[in-house]
A = this chain, B = another copy of it.
Amino acid sequence: MPFSYQVLERSSDSAARLGRLQTRHGTVNTPVFMPVGTQATVKTLTPDELIRAGAEIILSNTYHLYLRPGTDVIAAAGGLHQFMGWDRPILTDSGGFQVFSLGDLRKISEDGVEFRSHLDGSRHFIGPEDAVRIQMDLGADIIMAFDECAPYPAEREYVKRSKDMTSRWADRCRKAHTRTDQAMFGIIQGGMFHDLRRESAEEITAMGFPGYAVGGLSVGEPKPLMYEILDELVPHMPKDKPRYLMGVGSPDALVEGVLRGIDMFDCVLPTRIARHGTVLTRTGRFSIRDLPYARDFQPIEEGCGCYTCQRHSRAYIRHLLKAKEMLGYRLTTIHNIHCLLALMADVREAIRQDRIAQFCQQFFAEYAG
């Protein structure tokens, strides 16, 4: 069996759980944060550096890879793992979210989405079957059904139609998927409407996917609203399948998601803010470009085990960023990725010891956003 998920421990005072994904490229311990490698590279880093930072699985983007270098190139390389030199598990999104984010450049119909490339304006069409075919060619271990992610805010009527179509598309994706060495996850939509979320969960889980994602959150709504939807939705998701909250990666939201029974997360946040000079710590974040760090020869975070904190000072990193030196972006990226992965490792240990509620209480006592 190429893909399986097993719950190892359940928290006694929350929905948090410890689990393990088995894929043909190895094991992933959950709850897990997946760094994002949009264009077949987690920006600035080598695969070796990702491993050193503790990454067990990464996410890559179907839309971007389809446009450049092209699915055919990656297939000719023997698949995405081979192409980018990463031999641990990969999850690809369906391209849906990116395509919908194109705004005026795309047109949605029951068949799929017609859009213009953000690179050269060329015309393309991706429907559910295309998204699956592309993802089969890319060869990730986990692939995603093609969905429509409704914007926030959105009218109930729009969200309902979108949710219904997402369910029909999920069914078409399921039927188009023939690779037995990949797991396809279904995506639950329904915006901020409890009943639509419940309906979506029923429709999608009825199709019997090996895992389920919550899409359409972290799209601009206040965080308490996201947590409310999770409180409502997660109990309607299968207990024996992995649950993936898409596009979420701030430390506080990771912890809140784990407490509500989420097993997988992905987000560009740690890599994106790193390139703007913002570094994460266990207690919040700060901009290392600020003047006070010019002569601060401490590491970014005292006690951090990452490569950056072992070797380089805030003052040096600030200098590199001010001088627009690429090494600066690398060092902040390494730290931010490590920071989230170390948080998740601590979260897993706390679940294993059944003290996750206590862990979270302490985390939030120290966390200042």
The residues of A with any CB-CB pair to B shorter than 8 Å are 39-41, 43-48, 68-69, 73, 76-77, 83-85, 294-295, 297, 311-313, 315-316, 318-320, 322-323, 325-327, 329-330
The answer to whether A326 touches B329, judged by C-beta atoms less than 8 angstroms apart, is: yes
Interface contacts beyond A83-B316, A326-B329: sample of 20 additional A-B pairs, CB < 8 Å, sorted by A: A39-B319, A39-B323, A40-B316, A41-B327, A44-B326, A44-B327, A44-B330, A46-B311, A46-B327, A46-B330, A69-B318, A73-B295, A73-B319, A76-B295, A77-B313, A77-B315, A77-B316, A83-B315, A85-B311, A85-B312
Q: Measured between C-beta atoms, what is the minimum distance from A345 to chain B in Å?
A: 24
CA distance in complex: A44, B329 (Å): 9
A69's partner among B41, B84, B319 (CB-CB below 8 A) is B319
The answer to whether A325 touches B295, judged by C-beta atoms less than 8 angstroms apart, is: no
CA distance in complex: A44, B297 (Å): 21
Q: How many copies does the complex hold?
A: 2
The answer to whether B316 touches A68, judged by C-beta atoms less than 8 angstroms apart, is: no
The answer to whether A68 touches B311, judged by C-beta atoms less than 8 angstroms apart, is: no
Nearest-neighbor residue (CB-CB) of A72 within chain B: B295
Contact partners of A77 in chain B: CB under 8 A: 297, 313, 315-316
Contact partners of A325 in chain B: CB under 8 A: 39, 41, 43
The answer to whether A68 touches B319, judged by C-beta atoms less than 8 angstroms apart, is: yes
Contact partners of A295 in chain B: CB under 8 A: 73, 76
The answer to whether B294 touches A69, judged by C-beta atoms less than 8 angstroms apart, is: yes
Q: Measured between C-beta atoms, what is the minimum distance from A60 to chain B in Å?
A: 12
Contact partners of A40 in chain B: CB under 8 A: 316, 319-320
A294's partner among B44, B73, B330 (CB-CB below 8 A) is B73
The answer to whether A316 touches B43, judged by C-beta atoms less than 8 angstroms apart, is: no
The answer to whether B330 touches A326, judged by C-beta atoms less than 8 angstroms apart, is: yes
The answer to whether B320 touches A41, judged by C-beta atoms less than 8 angstroms apart, is: yes
Contact partners of A322 in chain B: CB under 8 A: 68-69
Q: Measured between C-beta atoms, what is the minimum distance from A220 to chain B in Å?
A: 27
Contact partners of A46 in chain B: CB under 8 A: 311, 327, 330
The answer to whether A73 touches B315, judged by C-beta atoms less than 8 angstroms apart, is: yes
The answer to whether A316 touches B85, judged by C-beta atoms less than 8 angstroms apart, is: yes
Contact partners of A318 in chain B: CB under 8 A: 69
Q: Enumerate 17 A-B pairs (CB-CB under 8 Å) in ascending A order.
A: A40-B320, A41-B320, A41-B325, A43-B325, A44-B327, A44-B330, A45-B327, A46-B311, A73-B294, A76-B295, A77-B313, A77-B315, A83-B313, A84-B316, A85-B311, A326-B326, A330-B330
Contact partners of A297 in chain B: CB under 8 A: 76-77
Contact partners of A69 in chain B: CB under 8 A: 294, 315, 318-319, 322
CA distance in complex: A319, B83 (Å): 10
CA distance in complex: A312, B83 (Å): 8
Contact partners of A43 in chain B: CB under 8 A: 325-327
CA distance in complex: A311, B40 (Å): 14
Contact partners of A85 in chain B: CB under 8 A: 311-312, 316
CA distance in complex: A76, B325 (Å): 21
